A and B are shown apart, each in its own frame.
Chain A
């Protein structure tokens, strides 16, 4: 019998707000798979893109402090949000390589740094720690006939030497996970292109243009829906989808699922435990049509 997996958990700000369904579905899925998840008490914002954009030292210090908090909880650190994941990995990478910055950060958080704790995205935990075989064995309702476009965006794989989650140019980890859940995946061209991320607040016009190209590519490839592992990508693809359809006179109607929602569905979790009602593009007609609900 395999030892029970246990993780400390850093949800990130979005999962406590706009991406609450990602948080909910993550907790429910892990419970079902018998994986322990303990939220880091009083974690705070990693600084996300705005912090490293204008003040890298602040960004590194905020992340380093959060890593220190996470160290007090048993297990590797599980991170759901691709942006938080990227910042935490960047912090470990930078402070291991650059001694000047390391000293500055140690002064800023007034503590010696320990960088050996492992930071893992949920995908890594499902595909490698749990393993695809055990994941597939836990599937009760395979997502048969559902054609999924896996969207990686920027921060899960780039730059190649930092997140080390998968190959930067031809990753397959998302496809592997959702295929283990019984779904089909489509080959499409824009799975690694940028959606405009946090420009959603300051320059929504940019986001609309970039996100449209992504939706168009997924639709052209024959996808029924999109799967993401990042609340920022989700916000742009899901929340802004209607608006984009208006601007570009298009009809996409592509539900945008978090990976935990789709995998959760396959292990038998109900709509209420996956927060499907929180999605702006209604997924229920698609799931009913495919006999998945």
Chain B
């Protein structure tokens, strides 16, 4: 005979405002099998939990139902409390009377009746719960970090400094990411290269970090603590072990007029190249699409001049498999491209700004390269069209961002600050020039951020104009900016020498494909989703995978670094134990009834279903049945719904329990 305890939470006023909690407690007290019921203002608080524990002991309770918020929020809390009081934690269930009831209803009477129904159902379910023991799985204490920008670098260094091995995979020939492209950084104006390159060197020299550049993730298998990752090392055409990084190949390469993507295509590079002089590793790569040898079979100069004989035209892509226990995803962002998009694309462009047609209309990242001391102009602000110094420069904010008509309704978060920085850099470099900024709102929350923005206006003399720009057009060697100042209520026209567009931040191209390989979720823009917006911001819903940086949403450097360290801390928490305990809410196969159709295997999204041979005592094969690997099973229940012979059941969600719940209504 079960003695069930039911605990009704007020959740402050969140539940009690619409649900008569005392009445719920009284009525559920009369439900068959319920030995005790009560209500309390905050069940999750320390006194609330104490009340629960005391009742279990004093009332000799066998099962517990906590009627409160969503189990996503506090199921762990209450199961722990129940365990402390001496009960098996899986004999505790939560009835959600907040999200499913009080928050979505207005009528108190009806909400109360519904709450009683919800709690009654959970009482019937918990009656049939089984005692479960946590599943333990071994943990491989190595981690994979995907993406070698500042987020990936920070996470990799933190984990490696703790003594755990890290595999760092970067798609480009060098690590560094977007931060390596920046000139100076807000709000302190320290040079990006100066603070970035030492960290890049640390990565290269760290004995615990294994670096794969010019490489991509091909396949991810396994589960938390036990992932197998296949990495594709693209053919670099240069042997990394032999190359000394002397750079003779690059100076001798006859193909020198290839636009360098690292310099936003305003600088040029050779066909065998490193994207920038401080690249890590300092090993060149051959761009086979532009190399004369690969196009026509002639040339081969780089191979002839290479002393150590590192140039290898025959090199092939190759696959490497690495075993890791945790994965940090740090794939970063891409810039919104301003121009017209193909018809049918969800994201639209800005034809009215003439970007791509008017040479001196550039994006913010191109301005960074112009302002960078290691950039194509050596840090001088010069127009791409004629190399002249612009004396009137216009910045336009929110290009792509906050524009639902263009398909992106979010704020890109960093543009207000980097535009303020741009006006300062411009003022420092062009003393007789004037910067104008068209903006809607200045969004500058952050330590010393608003002060920085104000400084750009008050000390660096940038003129901010509240209003947007309708159109840009070339008139002679000027760009006419048709804007408006909504504070004054007039149209504004500026004949500018150069225009810089603060373009939106988007996730990296292919972010969705990578997410599908990893089995993690992403939003409609392809930003990766965290498990909980507030309380689990660096974890994915998929166990063992963590997020760092702008792949999760627009972020600046300080925030990215914080999140990267947080993700590293989560990985180290996982690695602090040799074995990992997992929720035992997994599917089990009733082998006697299983006919081996493997419908369950086809539908399992986690690859948890395996084939198991049943043999008699003589070792003869009797049949092959399905087996659910408890280490991999995520407890989603798809197999249970699919099985034609009703032989797979998920603990806590068996057919018997579901029927009992329905009958309680």
Contacts and interface: CB of A to CB of B under 8 A. Distances in A.
Q: Do A and B come from one complex?
A: yes
B382 to A, nearest CB: 25
Interface in B437-493: 473-475, 480
B351 A189 contact: no
Interface string A169-198: 110000000000000000001000000000
B226 to A, nearest CB: 51
A35 to B, nearest CB: 27
Nearest to B349: A169
Contact of A189 (B340, B350, B480): B480
B312 interface: no
Nearest to A168: B351
Contacts of A170: 340, 351, 357
A168 to B, nearest CB: 7
A168 B351 CA distance: 8
A274 B216 CA distance: 65
B352 interface: yes
A165 interface: no
A169 B338 CA distance: 13
A167 interface: yes
Contacts of A189: 473-475, 480
A189 B352 CA distance: 11
Interface in B243-301: none
B340 A169 contact: yes
A139 B60 CA distance: 100
Interface in A148-176: 167-170
Contacts of B473: 189
B351 A167 contact: yes
A42 to B, nearest CB: 38
Contact of A169 (B352, B474, B480): B352
Nearest to A171: B351
Majority DSSP secondary structure for residues of B touching A: mixed
Contacts of B475: 189
Nearest to B474: A189
Nearest to A169: B351
A57 to B, nearest CB: 27
**Interface size for chain A: under 10, 10 to 19, 20 to 34, or 35 or more residues?**
under 10
A170 B473 CA distance: 12
A4 to B, nearest CB: 30
Contacts of B474: 189
Majority DSSP secondary structure for residues of A touching B: loop
Interface in A185-224: 189
B340 A167 contact: yes
A7 B624 CA distance: 71
Contacts of B352: 169
A48 to B, nearest CB: 25
Interface string A209-243: 00000000000000000000000000000000000
Interface in A8-57: none
**Which of B350, B351, B352 lies at the interface centre, i.e. has the most chain A CB atoms within 10 A of its CB?**
B351
A167 B480 CA distance: 22
Contacts of A169: 340, 350-352
B244 to A, nearest CB: 50
A169 B475 CA distance: 17
Contacts of A168: 351
Contacts of B480: 189
Interface string B339-377: 010000000001110000100000000000000000000
A189 B493 CA distance: 15
Nearest to B339: A170
A126 to B, nearest CB: 21
A169 B406 CA distance: 14
A140 B357 CA distance: 34
A167 B340 CA distance: 9
Contacts of B351: 167-170
B342 to A, nearest CB: 11
A217 to B, nearest CB: 9
A193 to B, nearest CB: 9
A89 B340 CA distance: 23
A167 B357 CA distance: 15
A167 B354 CA distance: 13
A167 B348 CA distance: 12
A169 B352 CA distance: 6
A170 B358 CA distance: 13
A167 B351 CA distance: 9
A82 to B, nearest CB: 19
Interface string B303-343: 00000000000000000000000000000000000001000
Nearest to B348: A160
Interface in A276-291: none
B437 to A, nearest CB: 23
Nearest to B480: A189
Interface in B126-184: none
Contacts of A167: 340, 351
A169 B341 CA distance: 12
B399 to A, nearest CB: 14
Nearest to B352: A169
B164 to A, nearest CB: 53
A10 to B, nearest CB: 27
Contacts of B357: 170
B400 to A, nearest CB: 15
Nearest to B350: A169
A99 to B, nearest CB: 23
B361 to A, nearest CB: 14
A168 B405 CA distance: 14
Nearest to B357: A170
Interface in B596-611: none
A169 B351 CA distance: 5
A167 to B, nearest CB: 6
A176 B480 CA distance: 27
A218 to B, nearest CB: 13
Interface string B405-448: 00000000000000000000000000000000000000000000
Interface string A110-140: 0000000000000000000000000000000
A40 B352 CA distance: 38
Nearest to B476: A220
A161 to B, nearest CB: 10
B268 to A, nearest CB: 28
A258 B243 CA distance: 68
A293 B473 CA distance: 36
A33 to B, nearest CB: 29
B477 to A, nearest CB: 14
A209 to B, nearest CB: 13
**Which of A167, A168, A170 lies at the interface centre, i.e. has the most chain B CB atoms within 10 A of its CB?**
A170
Nearest to A190: B473
B263 to A, nearest CB: 27
B474 to A, nearest CB: 7
A100 to B, nearest CB: 23
A246 to B, nearest CB: 25
A189 B357 CA distance: 13
A123 to B, nearest CB: 18
Nearest to B351: A169
Interface in B622-643: none
A52 B350 CA distance: 29
A189 B474 CA distance: 7
Nearest to A217: B475
A169 B474 CA distance: 15
A206 B50 CA distance: 79
A168 B480 CA distance: 19
Nearest to B473: A189
A22 B163 CA distance: 82
A73 B341 CA distance: 38
8 contacts: A169-B350, A169-B352, A170-B340, A170-B351, A170-B357, A189-B473, A189-B474, A189-B475
Given A167-B340, A170-B340, A189-B473, 4 more contacts: A169-B340, A169-B352, A170-B357, A189-B480
Interface of B: 340, 350-352, 357, 473-475, 480
Name the 7 nearest CB pairs between A and B, nearest first: A169-B351, A189-B473, A170-B351, A169-B352, A167-B351, A189-B475, A167-B340
